Structure formats: structure tokens, C-alpha cells
């Protein structure tokens, strides 16, 4: 049965909505940490190449699959002729992946909410202490914040304010970007910041190792929301006369610009606050890096503009990051939700309630991975180490499944749905029908080069992560 779908009114509307969903924790937290960890400039270079030559074509393929099928990811494959176990599997992980990503995402959203609340109560200096993060994430305060995040997500989805929130986000996201740039400029004036700028911008190609390559690919997929069904879903809301190619380029560019700026904020800050830092220590970086250096920037700001203004700026900044995280979280939850409601097993409100509770249960378990429960903190052992539930979700869904989903999308559009059908659907709505060099590259790459790169990286990740 065809369910009639709402459509985005314009290309700008689509680009803003898709960029609003794509910009989130991945750009603001994940990217700077990954760049610090994986050799700075070396990572940035590999990342940029992946976005332009691997991810952008996949983004176009996913959007086209969504628009042509008018379906959610669990049904898009079969609607375009993909039957049998492989495409059935692709459909199932197309819905399972966004759910598990939402679990992992909600854990980090909770930390942001916790920091935001702490800033309101005036704890900037405490927050900048490196031990604060560890004790916060292993305290049972996280459950309260998790419940709050659940209520907010439920209220947005069920309360019929989703459109309003999205409209507000369209205003708040540019504000976040402007603030980010202003903070970058401020950080660049701090002593020794330039050492961070060179680490970030000058690639040392000898640092490009297989793990840097794997890290850059997963980060690019995550940040652009690829391989999690989100763009298939967004594509299904796209108008037939919107130019997919142009829109995808704008979304990828915006997303990458935000990630790049977040890196330009944090890496110089690290070198400024810790001038003796040894870059090999950075390879041990984790998310805690972001949560301690960001408050340090605001503490430095206190010396220049006073406690009141520094705290106010910190508050607004964390609030905007929180909004970015919540809008992204809502848009990921929407994928399994729309798959559920198209099957009409429950009415929408009940489906939302069910989904949020399920997310809360998994989110609570994953939140206990940092010491709150021995069971979840040492959930399994593989590749010689104790792994927490959070690690398992991260290793499987972020690092491994995203590229696999990308591979399935390429193989599907090129060999099952067929290149000619894909090309026709992709170009529907494009004002300019001439073939650019990029179109020619894409034609060739999607059917061979990209799947090959993804398959090699997938196999390498599985071998190094799990064996």
C-alpha cells in the first residue's frame, strides 16, 4: 500500500533539514576527537578525500533510493526489486542500525545535558578539571538525565511540535555555526595555539595507517548520516523536481565545514592549554578530551570577559550543542519509527512510546558501561580486551556496519536496481543534464571502485577489531 508522504517544499528546505539532521555530536564531538587521535592533518586529508570521493556518491545513491521507492529503508530495497535473503538482510540492518546508533547517541546526549546543567549552576572551573568527566559519567546522575532526554524526545515526536522544533533548529544551527567561528577566532589568539593549527592542517602522510583510514571512513559515514537509512528516509520526502546532486553536495559541504571548524577549535586549544603535549599521547584520545578542553576554553575566556559573560557564552553554546544533538536524535529515532508505523501494528503515539522506552532501556544499559555496573562495563572480551556494552555498540554499529551498509547500497543500486534506472532517478529534477567530470567519476566509481574500497576497509575493520 502506498502511504502518501509529505514532501519538502523546496531545495533549500530540504538542504536545511538534512543538514540540521546531519550536524550533531558527530561533527562537534566525534570529529575533533578523531582528528586529534589519528594524526591531525593526516586524518583531515583522508577524511576530506573520503567525503568527496566515497561518501558523496553514496549519499546521492541513498537519497535516490528513497525518492524513487517512496519507502523507509526496510522496504526500499524490496520496492525497487531487491528480494531474497541479502536484500532482506539489508532492509533489516537498515532499521536496526539507526536504532543502535540512537542508543549510543542518547548516551552522549545525556553527557551534554549534564554539562549544560552544571554550567547553569556555575561550575565552569570544576568542569575543566580532567577528572570531572570520568566521575560524571560513572555517577548515577546519568539516569536522571537519560529520563529527561527520553521525555524531550517523546514530547517532540508525540506532541506534534516536530515541525516547530525543526523550524527553530534552522535558525539555531546557523547561530551555532557563527558562535563556533567566533570561538575559533578567540582560541587562535591563545598562546601556542598555532602549534595545534599546524598539527591539524599540515598532513604528515607517514601517519596514514590502516587504523587512520578506518577511523576516517567510519567518522565520515557517521557524520554525513550514511549507512543508517536516514538519507533513504529523507529521500522519500524529497520532491521529484529537486536536484539530488546539488542538494547532496550542499549537505556534505555544510556538514564538513562544521566538523572542520570544530577541529579548528579544539586542536589549537589542546596545544595551547597543554604546550608540552606529545602528539603520540594524543593517539590515546577519547571523548573525554572534548569534554575537558571545551570548558577550559570558557575558563580562559573568564580572564578576558569576566565570569558572567564567559558563563553565559558557555551556557548558550552548550544549549546549542544540545539542540543539535536532540534534533539529530529525533531524526534517527524517526527511521525505525516510520518503519514500524508503515506496518501499522500500533498507532503512532504508542509506537513512539514503545520506541522511546526501548531506547531508554538500552540507553540505561549502555550508560552503565563506565563503571556503574560491572556487568555492562566488562560485557564481553574480544581481541584480548574487556569491552563494555558501549564499546560493543560502537565497534559493531559505528565502525563496522556503517561501511557495510554503504557497500550494500552501492551493490544494490548498480547491480540489482541497475545503473540505468538509478541514473534516470538520480537525474530527475536536475536542471543541468550535462555530464560533469564528477558524474563520470561517479558512474565508474559506484560500480567498482567504491564497493572495493568499502569491502577492503570492512574486512580490515572486522579482522583488527574482533580477532
Please, which residue, 252 or 414, has the CB nearer to ligand PHE?
Answer: 252
Rg of the chain over all Cα atoms, to the nearest angstrom: 21
CA-CA-CA-CA torsion for 202, 207, 208, 214, nearest 10 degrees?
-110
- 332 sits near ligand PHE (criterion: CB under 6 A): yes
| In the complex, minimum distance from the CB of residue 106 to ligand PHE, in angstroms, rounded to a whole number | 12
Among 328, 338, 388, 405, binds ligand PHE (CB under 6 A): 328
Residues numbered 196 to 225 that lie near ligand PHE (CB under 6 A) are 222-223, 225
| In the complex, minimum distance from the CB of residue 112 to ligand PHE, in angstroms, rounded to a whole number | 11
Instruction: Bin 40: left if φ > 0, else alpha if -120 < ψ < 50, else beta.
Output: left
| In the complex, minimum distance from the CB of residue 211 to ligand PHE, in angstroms, rounded to a whole number | 21
State the DSSP string of 220-263: HHHHTTTTSSHHHHHHHTS-TTS-HHHHHHHHHHHHHHHHHHHH
Among 228, 313, 366, 411, binds ligand PHE (CB under 6 A): 228
CB count within 10 Å of CB 178 equals 11
Name the closest residue to ligand PHE (Cβ).
Answer: 26
Give me the residues paired with residue 385 across strands.
Answer: 382
Among 69, 272, 292, 331, binds ligand PHE (CB under 6 A): 331
Distance CA(411)–CA(407), nearest Å, equals 6
- 409 sits near ligand PHE (criterion: CB under 6 A): no
Among 16, 18, 25, 264, binds ligand PHE (CB under 6 A): 25
- 97 sits near ligand PHE (criterion: CB under 6 A): no
Please, which residue, 255 or 439, has the CB nearer to ligand PHE?
Answer: 255
At what angle are helices 85-120 and 288-305 packed, to 10 degrees? 30
| In the complex, minimum distance from the CB of residue 22 to ligand PHE, in angstroms, rounded to a whole number | 5
Distance CA(340)–CA(8), nearest Å, equals 22
| In the complex, minimum distance from the CB of residue 334 to ligand PHE, in angstroms, rounded to a whole number | 9
CB 331 within 8 A of CB 23: no
Q: What angle do CA 441, 443, 444 make, to 5 degrees?
A: 70
| In the complex, minimum distance from the CB of residue 44 to ligand PHE, in angstroms, rounded to a whole number | 16
- 26 sits near ligand PHE (criterion: CB under 6 A): yes
| In the complex, minimum distance from the CB of residue 14 to ligand PHE, in angstroms, rounded to a whole number | 15
CB count within 10 Å of CB 60 equals 24
CB count within 10 Å of CB 281 equals 11
At what angle are helices 288-305 and 130-137 packed, to 10 degrees? 130
| In the complex, minimum distance from the CB of residue 278 to ligand PHE, in angstroms, rounded to a whole number | 29
Among 14, 16, 27, 50, binds ligand PHE (CB under 6 A): 27
Among 103, 230, 326, 442, binds ligand PHE (CB under 6 A): 230
Among 11, 21, 69, 294, binds ligand PHE (CB under 6 A): 21
Residues near ligand PHE (CB under 6 A) are 21-22, 24-27, 101, 222-223, 225, 228, 230, 328, 331-332
Amino acid at each position: 500500500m502506498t502511504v502518501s508522504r509529505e514532501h519538502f517544499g523546496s531545495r533549500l528546505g530540504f538542504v536545511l533539514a538534512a543538514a540540521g539532521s546531519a550536524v550533531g555530536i558527530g561533527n562537534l564531538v566525534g570529529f575533533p576527537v578523531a582528528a586529534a587521535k589519528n594524526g591531525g592533518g593526516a586524518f583531515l586529508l583522508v577524511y576530506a578525500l573520503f567525503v568527496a570521493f566515497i561518501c558523496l556518491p553514496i549519499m546521492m545513491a541513498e537519497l535516490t533510493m528513497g525518492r524513487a521507492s517512496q519507502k523507509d529503508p526496510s522496504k526500499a530495497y524490496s520496492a525497487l526489486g531487491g528480494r531474497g535473503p541479502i536484500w532482506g538482510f539489508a532492509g533489516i540492518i537498515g532499521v536496526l542500525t539507526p536504532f543502535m546508533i540512537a542508543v549510543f547517541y542518547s548516551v552522549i546526549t545525556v553527557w551534554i545535558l549534564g554539562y549544560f546543567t552544571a554550567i547553569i549552576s556555575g561550575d565552569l572551573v570544576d568542569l575543566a578539571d580532567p577528572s570531572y568527566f570520568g566521575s560524571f559519567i560513572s555517577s548515577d546522575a546519568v539516569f536522571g538525565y537519560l529520563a529527561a532526554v527520553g521525555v524531550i524526545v517523546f514530547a517532540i515526536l508525540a506532541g506534534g511540535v516536530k515541525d516547530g522544533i525543526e523550524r527553530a533548529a534552522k535558525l539555531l544551527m546557523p547561530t551555532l555555526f557563527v558562535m563556533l567561528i567566533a570561538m575559533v577566532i578567540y582560541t587562535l589568539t591563545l598562546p601556542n595555539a598555532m602549534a595545534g593549527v599546524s598539527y591539524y592542517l599540515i598532513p604528515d602522510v607517514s601517519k596514514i595507517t590502516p587504523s587512520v583510514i578506518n577511523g576516517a571512513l567510519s567518522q565520515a559515514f557517521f557524520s554525513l548520516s550514511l549507512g543508517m537509512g536516514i538519507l533513504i528516509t529523507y529521500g522519500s520526502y524529497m520532491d521529484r523536481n529537486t536536484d539530488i546532486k546539488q542538494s547532496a553536495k550542499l549537505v556534505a559541504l555544510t556538514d564538513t565545514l562544521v566538523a572542520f571548524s570544530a577541529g579548528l577549535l579544539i586542536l589549537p586549544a589542546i596545544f595551547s592549554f597543554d604546550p608540552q603535549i606529545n602528539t603520540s599521547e594524543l593517539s590515546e584520545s577519547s571523548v573525554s578530551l572534548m569534554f575537558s578542553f571545551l570548558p577550559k576554553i570558557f575558563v580562559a575566556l573568564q580572564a578576558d570577559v569576566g565570569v558572567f559573560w564567559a558563563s553565559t557564552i558557555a551556557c548558550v553554546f552548550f544549549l546549542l550543542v544540545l539542540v543539535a544533538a536532540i534534533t539529530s536524535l529525533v531524526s534517527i529515532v524517526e527511521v525505525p519509527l516510520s518503519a514500524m508505523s508503515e506496518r501499522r501494528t500500533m498507532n503512532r503515539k504508542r509506537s513512539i512510546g514503545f520506541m522511546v522506552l526501548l531506547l531508554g532501556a538500552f540507553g540505561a544499559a549502555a550508560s552503565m558501561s563506565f563503571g556503574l555496573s560491572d556487568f555492562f562495563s566488562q560485557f564481553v572480551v574480544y581481541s584480548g580486551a574487556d569491552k563494555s556494552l558501549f564499546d560493543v555498540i560502537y565497534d559493531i554499529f559505528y565502525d563496522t556496519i556503517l561501511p557495510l551498509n554503504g557497500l550494500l547500497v552501492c551493490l544494490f543500486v548498480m547491480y540489482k536496481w541497475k545503473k540505468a534506472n538509478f541514473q534516470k532517478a538520480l537525474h530527475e529534477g536536475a536542471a543541468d543534464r550535462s555530464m560533469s567530470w564528477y558524474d563520470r567519476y561517479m558512474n565508474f566509481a559506484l560500480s567498482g571502485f567504491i564497493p572495493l574500497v568499502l569491502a577492503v576497509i570492512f574486512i580490515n575493520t572486522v579482522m583488527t577489531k574482533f580477532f
